[in-house]
Chains A and B, each alone.
Chain A
């Protein structure tokens, strides 16, 4: 008869289970901690774009370009780009614009200046641009997705991208024409 008759054998593995249970909890905590403290900051690192490749975007032009045309950042590769994130309700952005405008005129050959109107109403934005009679184009970042991808927290934000598409400067305050020119000289 080959039937096992060892009914009296006690079930094994219960004390081992206790130990494994503890290590399991430890594992879960470790994984969570790793995720929270190491993985998330990696995601967050996008905030500091300096010396990194500028995120590409394609947005509709609302001023200073053909009607209904779109601007793709990667199409500007080979030329330096100055991005000015602004909104019509933002007073300091209006203050910033004349200086940016002068820069756009002075560096018209080597620099493309692009205003990025972010999270705004198009009519107000276009109205303001027409009043100010600016010499550089503006594009519309309606949902603010591009501003998010650039980690723009405050307005105005000025970003200088070199010919290779690398972010060389990230400014979060109103700058004078001279300050901007100095940053451009450093970046280009």
Chain B
């Protein structure tokens, strides 16, 4: 549904998105697979089962060592407790003797730190200590308590009582459990009844570095086993993390790719829309020429193509319409012209033949002849205009220089105005400030000099007529400049200007603002301009009056080439010739 909704516009975008997803997905899947294998292999290399076994074995060696150290200390304590002399001295509470015996025993065991004899009330009967106190940084203390039992020769009979002696918290950690033993709480009562509660407390020192190494070893082995147990889970989460990262990358890549491509696809969609509009006959759309890439070129070419089609279609339509008008003008001229002479002759004959004495009738005849000759004269002029319009030949274009042509016209116009020559009547009077603004370089193009002169003079005369209605200072300006592929010729005046409503139809035949004339002047100009592959428009001059703009394709431009090639193809309108009317350059003007 969604696809249908936007399908037409965004089809390219979907394909692009799909292509991006696929293009990104394939390497990502391969990468995820590779990562999975790599992680698994790497962890397998690190976690060889033998390593764990060896570690456990070395740990048990350490444990054996610790146990043997502890046992030797327990045995030492048992041996001391078994001393008869000591027991007897203790039973007698002979403190000096106890001390002496303890001293003697102390020398026999180098690892001893302290030896004490306690009675049932925990009073110290005797105490011997090493001169240097226990160094908690380097030594661990192991306290062994023994009853001074009679039968204490057997170690197993008297369970050892050991407490961590250095008071450090690490001593209680599970790793040094080789040194700690549960205190046999019930034993005290048993030993007390047999030995009057006399106890030997021996504190031994053990090398702390040794035990620390043992503790670390224990921790390491435990950590190793933990990691080993979690190995599978870890591998999995690495792969997951990697896959998620790559998944996000795909989404981001597709998103960024599609967003970037959006400009292109959007413009392609615009082109497609414009193409279908043009195919439907609407040539009045143009694609926006944004960007600087191939699509911009495509859009420009497309716009140019549309413009050319539009121009040549308009040109053909115009020429066909013109042909119809010309045909009508030709018939009209023919139909009117033929009876004119008989009418005039008949009127003259009646006037000449009458020799009666009726003065009033004679007067009437004079007036009638005058009217008839006047009107016949007007009709002849009209016929001449029509037939001129009908006889418009097709332009015969040849390479020329428009600037040179205009310079020539300027000179001729100046001369005509000064000398009051044949066509001076329709030229601007000498008080009109006529100026030519021409480029410094030649303006090459293809021109039918004779026809274009006629068009140019029509424009000048039109301006002159307009200026007749306005007050001084009267100005007329002719300007030639380059406008892209065209030479732009403009003729401006400061007359009353052209009504806005008339601007579109101004160049159609039989449209005029003047009270006289038939409105063929600008139609002829347009016909000539169209025959030159140009275009004509009317606007408002900065001088305040009318401005007529004529674009003619410049030599060697795209516009000219396309015109020259299209000129051959459409059927050139035929020009029915009306004979025997003298060609009058000013007659076309209305």
A13 lies within 8 A of chain B by Cβ:
yes
Which residues of A57-95 have CB atoms within 8 Å of chain B's CB atoms?
Answer: 87, 89-93, 95
Q: List 21 A-B contacts (CB under 8 A).
A: A4-B222, A9-B229, A11-B231, A12-B232, A16-B236, A24-B240, A25-B29, A32-B254, A33-B21, A35-B17, A37-B2, A41-B10, A43-B259, A89-B286, A91-B286, A92-B284, A101-B500, A130-B542, A132-B539, A154-B285, A173-B277
The interface bits of chain B over 515-541 (1 if a CB of A lies within 8 angstroms of the residue's CB, else 0) are 000000000000000000000000110
The interface bits of chain A over 22-55 (1 if a CB of B lies within 8 angstroms of the residue's CB, else 0) are 0011011101110111101101100100000000
State in angstroms the CA–CA spacing of A8 and B269 once bound together. Answer: 65
Interface SS, B side:
helix
The interface bits of chain B over 32-76 (1 if a CB of A lies within 8 angstroms of the residue's CB, else 0) are 100010000000000001001100100100010000000000000
Contact flag A17-B236 (CB < 8 Å), given A27-B247, A91-B286: yes
Q: Are B254 and A36 in contact (CB under 8 A)?
A: yes
Q: Which residue of A lies closest to B497 (CB)?
A: A133
Residues of A within 8 A of B (CB): 1-9, 11-14, 16-17, 20-21, 24-25, 27-29, 31-33, 35-38, 40-41, 43-44, 47, 87, 89-93, 95, 98, 101-102, 118-119, 130-133, 144, 147-148, 152-156, 172-174
Q: Are B225 and A4 in contact (CB under 8 A)?
A: yes
Q: Are B540 and A133 in contact (CB under 8 A)?
A: yes
State in angstroms the CA–CA spacing of A35 and B257 once bound together. Answer: 12
Q: Are A154 and B274 in contact (CB under 8 A)?
A: yes
State in angstroms the CA–CA spacing of A33 and B274 once bound together. Answer: 30
Number of interface residues of B (CB under 8 A): 77
Residues of B with C-beta under 8 A to A147:
288, 290
Q: Are A21 and B53 in contact (CB under 8 A)?
A: no
CB of B273 to closest CB in A, whole Å: 6
B549 lies within 8 A of chain A by Cβ:
yes
State in angstroms the CA–CA spacing of A17 and B235 once bound together. Answer: 10
CB of B9 to closest CB in A, whole Å: 7
Query: Could you say which of B18, B229, B233, B269 contacts A4, with CB atoms under 8 Å apart?
Result: B229
Query: Could you say which of B49, B247, B273, B303 contacts A153, with CB atoms under 8 Å apart?
Result: B273
CB of A36 to closest CB in B, whole Å: 3
Residues of B with C-beta under 8 A to A38:
2
Q: Which residue of B lies closest to A18 (CB)?
A: B36
Q: Are B273 and A7 in contact (CB under 8 A)?
A: no
Q: Are A28 and B285 in contact (CB under 8 A)?
A: no
State in angstroms the CA–CA spacing of A144 and B270 once bound together. Answer: 14
B310 lies within 8 A of chain A by Cβ:
yes
Query: Could you say which of B5, B221, B273, B286 contacts A93, with CB atoms under 8 Å apart?
Result: B286
Q: Are A29 and B25 in contact (CB under 8 A)?
A: yes
State in angstroms the CA–CA spacing of A89 and B301 once bound together. Answer: 13
Residues of A with C-beta under 8 A to B303:
89-90
Q: Which 9 A-B pairs have the closest CB atoms?
A: A153-B270, A36-B17, A11-B232, A92-B284, A174-B284, A28-B247, A133-B540, A13-B232, A90-B286
